[in-house]
């Protein structure tokens, strides 16, 4: 499986009377975007804002983030399973718009009980808050949705996800007939017998509506661990539907541009063989289910003749148990493991760092603490005027433009991302 990935780096985005790409500038006809989105009656309205690095702005109600991509030639489409049949991707040619992101923003209902509700997600473009989200470095095309009344959570969820995919593909169409300045080829077919094999175990959150990850258009709730080619991830096979705690999210943008995949490709054939990717559901509800998933993932890693594994997970406490059991199972089979993990530890760093651990987890890369106090300056909000916080306490609304203080980084979008995408870490001296 060989993927040719062409990149058109976007230097600026301008609202215009025509959608096109020229000389590094992406021009967008906002009216055409509105008409495309509002084909879905579940969406009452949409506003399009362009938010650029260095602007004193704060994007709120952030749900998913995507990167515009399009397949070139053949009958296979990007993000398969949503607007096109779930045909295998990861081969052929794909074009991407680099340096730009499509950001979905909406006040989804809080009617459902439990933890599976859309949590507030913030992207600060300047100030101390910017360090929590690398999306302060992208030019963000923000789609702020108003929802039609009387629709189910499942329908809202689906409509917003499909709208983001539609817009991403629509924008990428601007480069279909152009020649990319950068064209990279990705393949793991060539393996060296003198190098160790390393597999990536990518544990995705999938618990229910507003907390799912989709593989070829179908949520992973009932999936056992599955082997996929890393090119499939890079070509849109995985789509995020996880709107729970913002700091833990792995948005679609990061399934496409996963730093672990990129790093393993960088070393492929040099100091290791990239053996493949194992995707697994996290957040099972019983220990036996967690153990089964961990055992399956380790078994597949062994079948791929792996000597080492990099393990990441998405989400909070429950997912840590699956990850740790996967570490244990891999190590018992002779597969050396490294994990990337957020830390807790309280504001002073003296508390418990992880909710679960095993003796075998002795090689950990920190993605930073989620329990440090944060103070954010006033900024101009995009996506709404009020933040929704403290759902467990009945819910409160706060002026999104004002000075903000949080006890944790839960609201900061990708503030504790465990793929290595974040800007925070910790070092042990």
Q: What was the pLDDT predicted at 332?
A: 97
Q: Does 232 score more than 90 pLDDT?
A: yes
Q: What was the pLDDT predicted at 353?
A: 83
- 219-229: pLDDT as tens digits: 999 899 999 99
* Neighbouring residues of 401: CB distance < 8 A, sequence distance ≥ 6: 58, 378, 379, 380, 381, 385
Average pLDDT of the residues in 166-179: 97
Share of the chain above pLDDT 70, in %: 98
Task: Report the chain's C-alpha Rg in angstroms.
Answer: 21
Structural contact between residues 228 and 274, judged by C-beta atoms closer than 8 angstroms: no
Structural contact between residues 192 and 14, judged by C-beta atoms closer than 8 angstroms: no
Q: What was the pLDDT predicted at 244?
A: 86
Q: What was the pLDDT predicted at 109?
A: 87
pLDDT interval class at 268 (50, 70, 90): very high
Q: What was the pLDDT predicted at 113?
A: 58
Average pLDDT of the residues in 39-68: 97
Average pLDDT of the residues in 38-46: 97
Q: What was the pLDDT predicted at 112?
A: 63
Classify strands 92-98 and 3-9 as parallel, antiparallel or unpaired: parallel
Q: Does 319 score more than 70 pLDDT?
A: yes
Q: What was the pLDDT predicted at 99?
A: 97
Burial 318-334 (b: 16+ CB within 10 A, else e): bbbbbbbbbbbbbbeee
CA–CA separation, 64 and 243 (whole Å): 7
CA–CA separation, 261 and 243 (whole Å): 23
Q: What was the pLDDT predicted at 62?
A: 97
Tokens representing residue 337 in the block? 């493991």
Give the neighbor-by-neighbor strand order of the sheet with 57-59. Answer: 123-124, 57-59, 380-382
CA–CA separation, 144 and 164 (whole Å): 11
Q: Does 313 score more than 70 pLDDT?
A: yes
Q: What was the pLDDT predicted at 269?
A: 95
Closest CA to 320 of 363, 356, 346: 356
- Cα-based distances in Å from 290 to 228, 273, 332: 20, 28, 17
More confident residue, 92 or 351: 92
- 98-140: pLDDT as tens digits: 999 999 999 998 876 566 788 999 999 999 999 999 999 999 9
pLDDT interval class at 141 (50, 70, 90): very high
Q: Does 429 score more than 70 pLDDT?
A: no
Q: Does 42 score more than 90 pLDDT?
A: yes
Please name the residue ranges forming H helices in 279-396: 287-303, 317-332
């Amino acid at each position: 499986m060989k993927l040719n990935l062409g990149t058109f780096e976007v230097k600026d985005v301008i609202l215009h009377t025509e959608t096109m790409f020229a000389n590094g500038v992406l021009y967008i006809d906002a009216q055409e975007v509105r008409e495309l989105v509002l084909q879905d009656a579940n969406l009452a309205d949409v506003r399009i804002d362009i938010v650029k690095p260095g602007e004193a702005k704060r994007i709120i109600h952030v749900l998913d983030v995507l990167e515009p991509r399009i397949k070139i030639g053949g009958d296979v489409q990007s993000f398969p399973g949503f607007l096109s049949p779930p045909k295998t991707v990861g081969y052929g040619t794909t074009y991407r718009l680099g340096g730009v992101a499509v950001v979905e923003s909406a006040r989804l209902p809080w009617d459902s009980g439990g933890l599976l509700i859309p949590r507030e997600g913030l992207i600060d473009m300047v100030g101390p808050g910017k360090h929590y989200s690398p999306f302060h470095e992208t030019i963000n095309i923000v789609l702020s949705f108003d929802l039609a009344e009387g629709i189910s959570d499942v329908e809202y969820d689906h409509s917003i996800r499909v709208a983001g995919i539609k817009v991403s593909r629509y924008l990428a169409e601007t480069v279909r007939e152009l020649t990319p300045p950068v064209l990279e080829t990705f393949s793991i077919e060539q393996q060296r017998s003198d190098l160790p094999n390393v597999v990536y175990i990518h544990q995705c959150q999938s618990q229910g509506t507003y907390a799912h990850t989709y593989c070829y258009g179908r949520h992973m709730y009932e999936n056992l661990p599955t082997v996929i080619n890393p090119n499939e991830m890079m070509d849109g096979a995985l789509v995020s539907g996880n709107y729970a705690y913002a700091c833990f999210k792995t948005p679609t943008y990061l399934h496409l541009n996963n730093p672990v995949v990129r790093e393993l490709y960088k070393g492929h054939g040099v100091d290791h063989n990239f053996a493949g990717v194992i995707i697994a559901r996290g957040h099972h509800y019983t220990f036996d289910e967690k153990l089964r998933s961990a055992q399956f993932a380790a078994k597949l890693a062994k079948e791929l003749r792996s000597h080492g594994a990099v393990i990441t997970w998405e989400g909070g406490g429950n997912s840590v148990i699956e990850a740790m059991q996967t570490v244990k199972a891999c190590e018992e089979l002779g597969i050396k493991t490294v994990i990337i993990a957020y830390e807790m530890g309280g504001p002073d760093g003296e508390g418990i760092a992880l909710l679960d651990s095993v003796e075998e987890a002795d090689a950990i890369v920190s993605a930073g603490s989620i329990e440090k106090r944060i103070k954010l300056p006033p900024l101009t909000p995009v996506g709404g005027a009020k933040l929704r916080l403290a759902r467990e306490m009945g819910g409160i609304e706060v002026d999104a433009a004002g000075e903000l203080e949080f006890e944790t980084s839960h609201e900061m979008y990708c503030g504790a991302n465990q793929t290595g995408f974040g800007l925070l870490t910790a070092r042990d001296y």
